[in-house]
Amino acid sequence: MKGSDHPYRAHLQELTRRLEACLEGSGFNGALIPAGRAPLVFSDDLHYPYRPNPWFCQWCPEAHPGSLIVVGPGRRPLLLFRQEADYWHMPPVTPSGPWVPEWDIRVVRSTPEARNAIPAGHYALLGEPDPDWEGLAVLNPAPLLECLEYLRARKTPYELSCLTEASLRAARGHLAAEASWRNGGSEFDAHLAYCAGAGQHDDELPYRNIIGFDRHGAVLHYQHLERERPAASRSFLIDAGASVAGYAADITRTWAAEQGEFADLVAALDEIQQRLAAGVTPGRDFRELHFAAHREIGGLLVAAGLVTCTAESAVEAGVTRTFFPHGLGHLLGLQVHDVAGTRAEGGGEIPRPDGHPFLRLTRTLEAGCVVTIEPGIYFIDMLLDEARADFRSELIAWDKVAALYPYGGVRIEDNVVALAEGPRNLTREAFAALGA
């Protein structure tokens, strides 16, 4: 698609409307949004990996360090594109693409040149503090930022197209990583296979891959990549994403090496996950969906023989939290854990339910919200030890826990869009498109 047919144009118009609404009464007539820079390593001339300002990515599909955009109601968006003369690194190529005709793009070679190109105005600056832009704008005024953050949950068709492509890239990576594991690769080998399958290197991924064999699957954000493979790997949990124009996919899959009780647990949790994903609809309070997940997990614990009580008792006694300690999901978009998941419309916070401190999303879903749905069952030493030490000990079948303990845990995570016509599961679509 080109020109007026491309969804980016409507996306830009929507962002301008949102900005105008949030600026009303603020005293600001526009915003400066820097792309950000990669900070230097202490006492070195090397930089940390560059992570662009997500607000910049929302407006502009190409983020390069040192660039700045100027946006506001009634004005054509201005991109001050930083393209320094440099023989140590390859300078960024001047932007091209269907979004370019919507912008006034000016190449700048230095900070003073960029500062001189900013039109006069009273601006808010959205982003990290940066000496390049000191004195030009008010940094992150809270009312404006909170207003924009709340609205960011509603994705435009352009944003959904980016998330769709990110899901496809991530699904390719997942299948490549699974093949590596099944063919005898280590955690590190699976990571490399993932990057090759997704077509992205580490710095391009939206977050560090979580790749755990066996007991490592019980560490929710397992951070190591073993170079040696266990003699007999029983299970594989991978939580890994991909990014497109700043928009992230966030997908988790778990596999069993052989048929048996753990494979049955994976299959049963997958069915639960799909039922929960079917509940991602406009008007749904995500807290209630989280509670539904605990009821489902309670039923699965009973069916798997992991508890000696009823599903209802497992929920009431907090036993489900022993095996499923995190939230059901979170907003997804420009950041993996996207902003304003607990924000109330008009300001303030929607509290997390008692006993569920790690739930990242408490809002009622609106059309266009994209969320993760990621129930899990884990055998975590710390939580099991706590349960052994109190009244929950009598409600847990410890012999069954011991049998499944070596497998670590299972998590299934999809990215789902709440739409009036029904939920759209970007993750299942992606795997289906790849024949998986």
- Domain 157-433's class? alpha beta
What confidence tens digit (pLDDT) does each residue in 275-301 have? 999 999 999 999 999 999 999 999 999
Does pLDDT of 88 surpass 90? no
Of 172, 239, 274, 171, nearest in space to 408 by CA: 239
- State mean pLDDT over 403-421: 98
What's residue 1's pLDDT? Answer: 40
- In angstroms, the CA 186 to CA 59 distance is 40
- Look at residue 165 and tell me whether its pLDDT is greater than 60: yes
Chain segment 247-282, per-residue pLDDT in tens: 999 999 999 999 999 999 999 999 999 999 999 999
Domain positions in the chain are 3-151, 157-433
Q: Is the pLDDT of residue 422 over 80?
A: yes
Confidence band of 84 (pLDDT split at 50, 70, 90)? confident
Confidence of residue 5 (pLDDT cuts 50, 70, 90): low
**Does the structure show a pLDDT above 90 at 337?**
yes
Instruction: Look at the alpha carbons of 91, 96, 99, 105 in this order and tell me if their dihedral is positive or negative.
Output: positive
Please write the tens of the pLDDT for every residue from 363-396.
Answer: 999 999 999 999 999 999 999 999 999 999 999 9
Task: Give the Cβ contact number of residue 318 at 10 Å.
Answer: 15
pLDDT digits (tens, 9 = 90+) for 38-71: 999 999 999 999 999 999 999 999 999 999 999 9
H or E stretch including 173?
Answer: helix 157-182
User: Based on the number of CB atoms within 10 Å of its own CB, is 173 exposed (0-12), middle (13-18) or buried (19 or more)?
Assistant: buried
Check for a shared fold between 3-151 and 157-433: no
Predicted local confidence at residue 117, as pLDDT: 97
Q: What is the pLDDT of residue 231?
A: 87
Neighbours of 65 (CB within 10 A): 15
Measured CA to CA, the distance from residue 220 to residue 136 in angstroms comes to: 42
Q: Which CATH class is domain 3-151?
A: alpha beta
What is the pLDDT at residue 6?
A: 84
What is the C-alpha separation between 122 and 300, in angstroms, rounded? Answer: 57
User: Tell me, what's the pLDDT at 90?
Assistant: 86
Cα→Cα distances 117→37, 73, 93, 129, Å:
19, 18, 20, 20
Q: How many whole angstroms from its chain centre is CA 288?
A: 21
Check if the beta carbon of residue 52 is closer than 8 Å to that of residue 36.
Answer: yes
Output the pLDDT for position 128.
Answer: 95
